Structure 1
Amino acid sequence: MRIRVSDHETTVTVRGTRGPAVLLVHSLGLDRRMWDPVLDRLAEGRRVFAYDVRGHGSAADAPLPFTMAATAADLVAVLDALELDAAHVAGLSLGGAIAQTAAVAAPGRFASLTLMAAPDRPVPVAFEERARLAETGGMTPLIAPTLARWFTPEALEAETEGVRYARECVASFDPAAWASIWRGYAGLDVYERLRDFPAPALALAGDADASIPVEGMAAIAARIGGGGAKFEVVPGAPHIQTLERPEAVTDALGRFLPAEIDIP
């Protein structure tokens, strides 16, 4: 469905007709299709929604500059447009950073929080370098290093469907938008601010993640809520977990997220 979100429109993919609401937030450079490999199984007993973050996919024409505050407000606006008082929110990488920013601002809208390969602190020097590379050389020089951060060497060599989709997304990205998003990402400000988060939380790390190691995700999990978030490692998963290990990711999410179960 197409919805209005503050200063732009976006598209929401919907799966499931009953059960708890789950909102999925994708990573930088991709779009809501990143979640396609997990949607059908995740929607068993749940209503699942995946939307395009501003600057991406069907929301590529959203006004710049990109800021974390604006994307957090967008997340809440998506909940409003879907008439959801609260949802189980899961975000991967930038999507997890957006979810954390929204959770700091509006914790009551979260039935739970799931972070997948998502930082709670930016890396300003690296983020600025990626912004400048796009501005000076366009997207072509960024394709190979980006895919190397996102996928395992085996997936890259096999040229999987997920790799082809991601390459297409990065190659077609607007360089000015890419630069603005990375600079906005550098404004992430959630470190130590979710100590009092009141809802359940889960952190998923991939043991083949070249961007955020298992130890880093474990430390992030420990900083969420009074007792820390539940923590799991997805075997063999790289940074973009859903495109290379969708079954294991769905299993982990299914163990954590409630569902409406048919009782004979």
Structure 2
Amino acid sequence: MSNIQTITMPKWGLSMQEGKVNGWLKQVGDAVEQGQEIVEVESEKIAGAVEAAATGVLRRQLANEEDVLPVGGLLGVIADASVSDADIDAFVADFLSNFKPADGEEEDQGPTTQKIEVNGHKLRYLKRGEGGEAMLLIHGFGGDLNNWLFNHEALATDREVYALDLPGHGESTKDVGEGNLAALADTVAAFLDAVGVASAHLVGHSMGGAVSLTVALRHPAKVRSLSLIGSAGLGSEINTGYIQGFVSAANRNALKPLLADLFADSSLVTRQLVDDLLKYKRLEGVGEALATLSDNLFADGHQSSVMADQLGELGKPVLVIWGEEDRIIPVAHAHAVSGKVQVEVLGNRGHMVQMEAANDVNRAIARFVG
């Protein structure tokens, strides 16, 4: 019965214990291709689609819309049309009788975040995967390593992949020093030294893209390639209303409409996402850190560092990924560099394209660094 494939509730992020079914994208009897999105589910933090692990026919849906299942729980079954209903029923019965949800106490089996001292400051990071050419994921302004919930594990199947909280963000030091790209880039280079990585593929989102570019310019030996997602540093325009609003927002009503601008589909802004960001913004030192970065990087309504003209001088492979509906940094910046580097623009996606089109982004990066 090895040609029967399960569709199970995924685990997105370290704390996810269960997920809710939002709706099926395929119906029983539909042919499905490996990699096709077949069911939408959501955790408390984010919603996303589960892909088919195999090509075949969707033979069973074992969870309905609004059902809540533990991580690993059986959502559905894919098999060839030639497999009998009796065999599938037996397979499902066997799965359900042997399935035990992971106990929250067993979380120590998986990776956990760690802290490391870099230049006298603590930085939080998460490492997944082993071996291969190392990769480092660098989040954007006001983000943290959880911005890579849908990407980290997928990218770590054949290599070690680190995600860190930049200074001023997440659970890292709130001291941003000079608060410019050079200071952030030097911290990233020192972080790679501290974890024993000589050079890495850098994947940067938004401000993290500008940081990645700056690392490549200041510490070229540390960088194997650049994947820049909705990146700062490639043009002068930026939605400064969003930046200033994010810096000053002090409550849910101020924050929620701003976060809607991050996604093409604003329904992805969950209550938990707003609450997590409010909690972060109330930490001591965060207000000063964000204001310092904003004043340095996005003064007078423009990006202060534009490095598009230096892409050709890097001597590194560069991939640029953008959501066509990006309301924070215009997609025009991607089109402007398309002659110089590889560019992928994804339709109906916004600034958080690595969340909204995670499977497409993961495949593009894996192909590029592969």
Give the partner amino acid of 1:157: S
Displacement of 1:125 after TM fit?
9.1
Of 50-59 and 178-187, more deviation after overlay is shown by: 178-187
Give the partner amino acid of 1:150: L
Pairing partner for 1:172 from 268, 277, 280: 280
Instruction: Please show how residues 110-189 of structure 1 align to structure 2 within 5 Å.
Output: 110-120=223-233, 121-123=235-237, 126=240, 130-131=243-244, 134=247, 138=250, 142-152=254-264, 154=265, 156-157=266-267, 159-160=269-270, 164-165=272-273, 168-170=276-278, 172-173=280-281, 174-186=286-298, 187-189=304-306
* 1:8 has 2:8 as partner: no
Match in the other structure for 1:27: 140
Pairing partner for 1:80 from 176, 187, 193: 193
Displacement of 1:218 after TM fit?
2.2
Distance 1:221 1:74 in 2: 30
* 1:205 has 2:307 as partner: no
Give the partner amino acid of 1:51: L
Gap change, CA 1:109 and 1:240, over 3 Å in 2 = same
Structure 2 unmatched ranges of 5 or more = 1-113, 299-303
Displacement of 1:101 after TM fit?
1.2
Displacement of 1:105 after TM fit?
0.9
Match in the other structure for 2:169: 56
Secondary structure of the residue aligned to 1:248 is helix
Displacement of 1:213 after TM fit?
3.1
Structure 1 unmatched ranges of 5 or more = 223-227, 259-264
Gap change, CA 1:175 and 1:252, over 3 Å in 2 = same
Pairing partner for 2:309 from 192, 199, 203: 192
Match in the other structure for 2:205: 92
Q: Would you say how many aligned residue pairs link Structure 1 and Structure 2? A: 247
TM-score (norm 2): 0.61
Of 167-176 and 45-54, more deviation after overlay is shown by: 167-176
Gap change, CA 1:112 and 1:42, over 3 Å in 2 = same
Secondary structure of the residue aligned to 1:194 is helix
Give the partner amino acid of 2:115: R
Distance 2:267 2:342 in 1: 33
Distance 2:273 2:313 in 1: 38
Secondary structure of the residue aligned to 2:320 is strand
Displacement of 1:117 after TM fit?
0.3
8 Å CA contact 1:41, 1:250 repeated in 2: yes
Q: Relative contact order (C-alpha < 8 Å, sep 6+): which is higher? A: 1
Distance 2:368 2:347 in 1: 17
Secondary structure of the residue aligned to 2:313 is coil
